[in-house]
Amino acid sequence: MNLLIVDDSLIVRNAIERCVQNGEISSVFRAENGQEAVEMFAHHRPELVTMDLTMPKLDGLQAISRIRSIEPNSSILVISALNSHKTAMEAISRGACGFLTKPFTEREVGEALEELAAHARRIAH
Amino acid sequence: MAEAFIQRLTPQSTLAELPAYGLTLDVESRGKEAGRLFESDPDLPGIVVTKAGRVRFVLSRGQYLRLVSRNFGHEVFDPRPIQLMLDTLDADDEPLILEDRTAIQDAVGRALRRPRALIYEPIVVRSSPGSGREIAVVDFPDLLRADSRISALRNTQMEQILATVEEGFMMVDAEGRIATERSASVGKIFGIDPAAGLPLPVFLEPLLGEEKAELCKGYLATLFNPNVIEKLIADINPLLRAQVRTRNGTTKFLRFRFVRGLENGTIQRILVKIEDISREVELEEERRAEEMRAKERIGRIFEVVRADPGPLAAFIRKLSPELKRVRQWLDPEKGDLSFEDRLAQVYRVLHGLKGEAGLVGLDSFQRKAHLLEQQLTAARRSSELEVATLERLRNGLGELESAQDEIRSAIEQLRGLSAASADAVPSADPRRAHGAQGSRPINGREVVPFWDGMPGWIDKMSQRMGKPARFYTEAKADELPAQYRSPLRDVLIQLVRNSIVHGLEEPELRRKTGKPALATLQLAIRRHEDRGQLEVIFQDDGRGLDWQRIAERAQQLGLAARTRAELSRSIFTAGFSTAEQTDLDAGRGVGLDLVKTKLEGLGGSIYAHSEPGTFCAFQILLPIGP
């Protein structure tokens, strides 16, 4: 399985990548805004995506919609500092599978990625 | 040693529950009397020494042993009155006396705020009248042991509450309707039993309010969405901590958790777990408040560590007499000043202290002074009774006074950290600041310049105002007569403040007009021996004075406004300032007026020069002896 990490902060992208312990994840792609995320997704078709919400060019909510229109079965986890229930619900109604609020610990992200991978496996079967 | 008292403590325990030793001696008793008492009870931590029936001192075992173990100690002290021991110990301060109903944790706080040298000494406990033991000594280690026991008890109490928390369950179907299955405690938790078939959000709306009920509806829908991973939405559960108004008008905190019920791989219903977490929330808030207080104490220590030691010591030394003067002005019984004059005097002193606090890095003190200054400004306009106004201001002053105490105690605590670090910390004690143990001895050759600490302050303040500036000087401290150091410091603070707040442009604007983004503030000092004058020039490279606006304002105030020289003089008039709002860094017209008055008091004068768009300079002339 492949993972696409979308966040405008290099520090956060690095932090999330460090959390990848799942042996099933073979490649990690990185994008720093929604626009780039959609292009990367269309090209590499990763099974798993972590998505920031507030980003330049194209924001996370719009990126989720576009990615889901390319691949309705993609598994997207929102990782955002935006702690608004409304936005979270909006992200989920557009097709996100879960929501993790920043700041996060490596363990939290690691476990969340496990869950996301398990979810993707169920869909694939 | 009897440690049984530890076992009997509860989180609400007071000093009355600690071992107490009620032995007293008069200052006229012989030293050997004290020795006899210490020998007869090896646990006795100290003896209350009274003078004419009043508590004068606590002679601790440690202090006694230190005295008599000197050469000929017994010979000197045994036959003479205890008063001699007190004199030798230089025991000027009143001992800490606390009521026996003081909570242990409060008592520890008070005891730790004693001067470092006395911190391990016993404390005196006074019991409520009639209870037999009027006055007694409590050992400090006993107090600490009791405190740590109580902290441990509090944590256990928290855990027990978590274990016995009330919990209820109910089921919700795919339409969000409440099913018939639910635990008996549900009715108890809500104060009403939910009717089966009622949608959960509808049931919750009168209890939680419309907004939360709406969020609950959205969250339930999310839970029934098969694309959503149950564990990965726990973070956005809107009811993790919901404040609920029950029917009988009380408020409680509930935690809702939602668990999917699967049948054949599809989500059929949701199990809703409800816990009453009111007590937990309450304890958590208490603990948070306690943490905040602790943080504030630590924050103050950090402020003191960061502060520049020389200027901080100078500030602390002048703080106490200044606050005393302010208190007198605010007391209608003292002095015969008019109400307006009282407020004006207080305002001037406060304004000065505020600036200096910022300069030495005591931001919290600066904020408090600013708040009081604002109160004062409001008081000048209010129609309240004058006596009431003064009383309110005295209360406000209390805040500043306790901030002062806390700064001193922070300094004392730091001094004790280690002998080495004491060098970095100024003494709060004026006797020590100049003495051999002083933090920074001012010897004949090294003179602290009056702009000491200024570069750092300017750096910080100009950054905060979004107008980065650098302070630059080639002046030498010894070019100044000593008596001008303190007033020139006050003046410079005021001028720098004015300059940064009003004089300097934003970096963007500076760039557009071809100036470097980083502004420059310059100080120059020249001695004119021929004229017997000292010339101090402070100059910024900001936007300069707006002569047009100054002329308008001068005319408004009925001042002469024909020539540059007249305009230049007008800006030093009381109440002249054209800035509309007052903030932490610049006041309301009091500044330049204050500067001029101060300099004239020294026989000096001040002039403003400016080229619009280029610079503003203040020239100060002061007399120097031949």
Helix axes B339-360, B590-601, angle to 10 degrees: 90
* Every domain of chain A and the residues it spans: 2-124
Q: Dihedral of CA B116/B119/B124/B125: which sign?
A: positive
pLDDT-based confidence at residue B100 (cuts at 50, 70, 90): confident
Residue B117 CB partners (closer than 8 Å, separation 6+): none
How many helices and strands in chain A, by DSSP H and E?
5, 5
pLDDT tens per residue, range B400-409 = 888 888 888 7
Three-state secondary structure along B446-507? Answer: CCCCCCCCHHHHHHHHHHHCCCCEEEEECCCHHHCCHHHHHHHHHHHHHHHHHHHHHHCCCH
Selection from A36-45, B42-51, B540-549 with the highest mean pLDDT: A36-45
CA distance B17 to B205: 49
Q: Which residue has the higher pLDDT, A74 or B159?
A: A74
Residue B287 has pLDDT above 90, yes or no: no
- Closest-CA distance, B291 to chain A, in angstroms, reads 21
Q: Which residues of B touch A96 (CB under 8 A)?
A: 228
Instruction: Read off the pLDDT of residues B484-539 as tens digits, 9 standing for 90 and up.
Output: 888 888 888 888 888 888 889 998 889 888 888 889 999 988 888 888 888 999 99
**Nearest residue of A to residue B228, measured between CA atoms:** A97
- A110 in contact with chain B, both atoms CB, cutoff 8 A: no
Residue type (1 letter), A108: E
**Shortest CA gap B224–chain A (Å):** 12
Residue B565 pLDDT > 90:
no
User: B309-318, pLDDT tens digit by residue?
Assistant: 667 777 888 8
B 234-293: CB under 8 A from A: 235-236, 238
Inter-chain residue contact A85 with B225, CB threshold 8 Å: no
> In the CATH hierarchy, which fold is given to the domain comprising A2-124?
Rossmann fold (3.40.50)
What's B74-86 look like in SS3? Answer: HHHHCCCEHHHHH
Is A62:A37 a contact under the CB 8 Å cutoff?
A: no
Rounded Cα–Cα distance for residues B30 and B82 (Å): 6
More confident residue, B412 or B130: B412
Which residue of chain B is at minimal alpha-carbon distance from A90? B218
Residues of B with Cβ-Cβ distance to A77 under 8 angstroms: 232
pLDDT in tens, B174-228: 888 998 888 878 888 888 888 889 999 999 998 888 988 999 999 999 999 989 9
Domains and CATH numbers, chain B: 4-155 (3.10.580.10), 167-276 (3.30.450.20), 288-433 (1.20.120.160), 454-623 (3.30.565.10)
Average pLDDT, chain B: 81
B33-37, B161-165, B458-462: range with lowest mean pLDDT: B161-165
Q: With a cut of 60, say whether residue B415 has pLDDT above it.
A: yes
pLDDT, position B578: 54
The verdict on a CB contact (< 8 Å) between A116 and B232 is yes
Taking the C-alpha atoms of residue B454 and residue B492, their distance in angstroms, rounded to an integer, is 9
Is the CB of A97 less than 8 angstroms away from the CB of B227? yes
Low-confidence ranges of chain A (pLDDT < 70): 22, 83
pLDDT over threshold 60, residue B10: yes
pLDDT reported for residue B494: 84
A119 touches chain B (CB under 8 A): yes
Question: ipTM, 2 decimals?
Answer: 0.88
**A82 inside 8 A of chain B by CB:** no
pLDDT of residue B2: 47
Please answer yes or no on whether B231 and A115 come within 8 Å at the CB atom: yes
What pLDDT score was predicted for residue B26?
Answer: 92
Q: Which residues of B172-205 are buried (b: 16+ CB within 10 A; e: fewer)?
A: bbeebbbbeebeeebeebbeeebeeeebbbbbbb
Dihedral sign, CA of B195, B263, B242, B191?
Answer: positive
Task: Locate B621 and state its tokens.
Answer: 């002339």
The residues pairing with B47 across neighbouring beta strands, listed in sequence order, are: B59
What secondary structure letter does DSSP report for B234?
A: G
Interface test mutation site (partner A, options B208, B233, B239, max chain A beta carbons within 10 A) = B233
**Chain-chain contact of B219 with A85 (C-beta, under 8 angstroms):** yes
Closest of B469, B501, B494 to residue B578, by C-alpha: B501
Sign of CA dihedral B288, B365, B460, B542: positive
What's the confidence (pLDDT) of residue B37?
92
> Which pair of tokens denotes residue B206?
């009168």
Give me the pLDDT at residue A67, please. Answer: 96
